[in-house]
Amino acid sequence: MSPTKKIPSPIVSLFPIIILIGMLFATIRTFGSDALNGGSQVSLLTTTAVCIFIGITFYRIPWKDYEIAITNNIAGVSSAIIILLIIGALSGAWMISGVVPTLIYYGMKIIHPDFFLTSTCIICALVSIMTGSSWTTIATIGIALLGIGKAQGFEEGWIAGAIISGAYFGDKVSPLSDTTVLASSVTDTPLFRHIRYMMITTIPSLVITLIIFTVMGFTYETSGTEQIAEFAASLNSRFHITPWLLIVPVATGILIARKMPSIITLFLSTLLAAAFAIIFQPDLLYEISGSNGLFKGTIMSLYGSTSLQSDSAMLTELIATRGMAGMMNTIWLILCAMCFGGAMTASGMLGSITSVFVRFMKSTVSVVASTVGSGLFLNLATADQYISIILTGNMFSNIYEKKGYESRLLSRTTEDAVTVTSVLIPWNTCGMTQATILSVSTLTYLPYCFFNLISPLMSILIAATGYKIIKKTVNNPG
């Protein structure tokens, strides 16, 4: 869009946001958990049309500008869509092959209920650091831990909160994480300098989170050992449980350690799990295919939904898979969200709204708080963490420089505000993805994602203390 063109005022720019929030509220209220089947997507496309109508009619913004912005947005999430599809196949393969049931089976024997939530958070944090991906962590070990927690009697909100808290801590500080690399590159901050600086806010947030989960673990009334034993017996009767199946997660870990690209790692892990399904669970594959062969059963477990019956209702629900097809509603939502984000950007409405935050940037606290507020707003408005990171970094980069702040303060605040909160927003790509993978709604796990809730507040708190915040003297602080 040409800089000479008039852009909408902040009040006008809020109009599509208000419509979106209203439509999403009505959609969720009407359709409930089925809102992802099309209602939410229609809401996003409708508000996209409203945004474009206002821009073209009243501000003479050409259609070509919208088309380019939307196309660029969709191109930017193309790799995320591929990862989603592979994760769908991987989830099915890991379940049907017996990898997840084996992890659950041995995990129930190792993890004591009193320390389950704390252990879950730590395990997911370590795996996410190694993978650099919260999505991969949640889709693999996260699902296994969810099964263990349910067997021990924990509510799914608490379990998902512990899983997500740990996974997003690891994602945030891992040098393999795309969001970490993106935040550092957008703000021109060296990667490891960015990671070291993040520890000042990230470690305290994690410590507080672990304390909460530890206290809750001791006070929560979990299932007795008899129920756990019964659940383990049901697993053992339905699947061929063997330590050999642990080769799959070990091999996946080796690929990660060798820094293989995420898509390649996930794809090879899926193929290995599919091969192990043929070797160790042929009866299940015949059951899935209707006795029409191992090949058909294997392919169906990768792309489609499966429902294997057992003598435990909880186990039957746990081992049901959705495959690649189960990710289509999420992918559909992502595409619609990218359309909305592109329209808001091309019309200048996004820039108009976020410029309001700049007016309050006087002290260090107000600078950081404005960045946090802007990041949160962008997560809500664009429904994508990648776009939010890029826009936040680009919008505040010159401001931080003019005020004499180091770029690492901007990169850290951007991650504290955007990366960890994206999963808390129901219509954000991260929120929808994790809700789909775990089969736990965003609003159900939101109150228990303590790390994600504490991080932006910790960023502001540390700014208030001034700890490790260096401000250079500038001639024009403007």
pLDDT band at 14 (very low <50, low <70, confident <90, very high): confident
Measure Cα distances from 153 to 16, 58, 315, 323 in Å.
43, 57, 13, 27
Cβ burial 338-356 (10 Å sphere, 16+ → b, else e) = bbbbbbbbbbbbbbbbbee
Is residue 300 a contact partner of residue 68, using CB atoms and an 8 Å limit? no
pLDDT band for 2, please (50, 70, 90 cuts): very low
Of 166, 147, 286, 303, nearest to 228 (Cα)?
147
Q: Quickly tell me which residue has 């996974």 as its tokens.
A: 167
Report, as an integer, the average pLDDT of 151-175.
Answer: 90
pLDDT value of position 459: 95
53: which 2 tokens? 């109508």
Closest CA to 323 of 34, 37, 96: 96
Average confidence (pLDDT) over 435-453:
92
**Mean pLDDT, rounded, for 359-365:** 80
Tens digits of per-residue pLDDT, 278-296?
A: 999 999 999 998 888 899 9
Structure-block tokens of residue 6: 């008039």
Neighbours of 477 (CB within 10 A): 10
pLDDT above 70: percentage of residues in the chain? 94
**CA of 15: how far to CAs of 104, 351, 376, in Å?**
48, 14, 18
Which positions ≥6 away from 121 have C-beta within 8 Å? 162, 163, 165, 166, 169, 209, 210, 213, 451
List the chain domain ranges. 76-324
Specify the amino acid at residue 448: Y
d(CA 173, CA 195): 6
Residue 4 has pLDDT above 60, yes or no: no
Tokens matching residue 223:
């299932």
Q: What is the DSSP string of 419-475?
A: ITTGGGSTTSHHHHHHHHHHT--HHHHGGG-HHHHHHHHHHHHHHHHTTT--B---S
Q: What is the pLDDT of residue 166?
A: 95
Range 127-140 burial, b when 16+ CB lie within 10 A, else e: bbbbbbbbbbbbbb
DSSP string over 366-414: HHHHHHHHHHHHHHHHH--HHHHHHHHHHHHHHHHHHHTB-HHHHHHHH
Partners of 306 in the beta sheet? 321
CA distance 415 to 407: 13
- What is the average per-residue pLDDT within 118-122? 91
Tens digits of residue pLDDT in 299-343: 999 999 888 887 777 677 778 888 899 888 878 877 888 888 889
How many whole angstroms separate alpha carbon 476 and alpha carbon 478?
A: 5
| Per-chain mean pLDDT for the chain | 85
Tokens of 148: 């263990």
Distance CA 98, CA 150 (A): 18
Percent of the chain with pLDDT over 90: 35
The residues, ordered by sequence, that sit 6+ positions from 216 with a Cβ below 8 Å of its Cβ are 117, 158
The 3-state DSSP composition of the chain as helix, strand, coil percent (nearest 5) reads 80, 0, 20
Distance CA 254, CA 458 (A): 34
Please, which residues bridge with residue 471 across strands? 405
Contact 107, 145 (CB under 8 A): yes
Summarised one tens digit per residue, pLDDT across range 186-245 is 888 888 889 899 999 999 999 999 999 999 888 877 655 566 677 778 888 889 999 999
When pLDDT is averaged across residues 23-31 and rounded to a whole number, the result is: 79
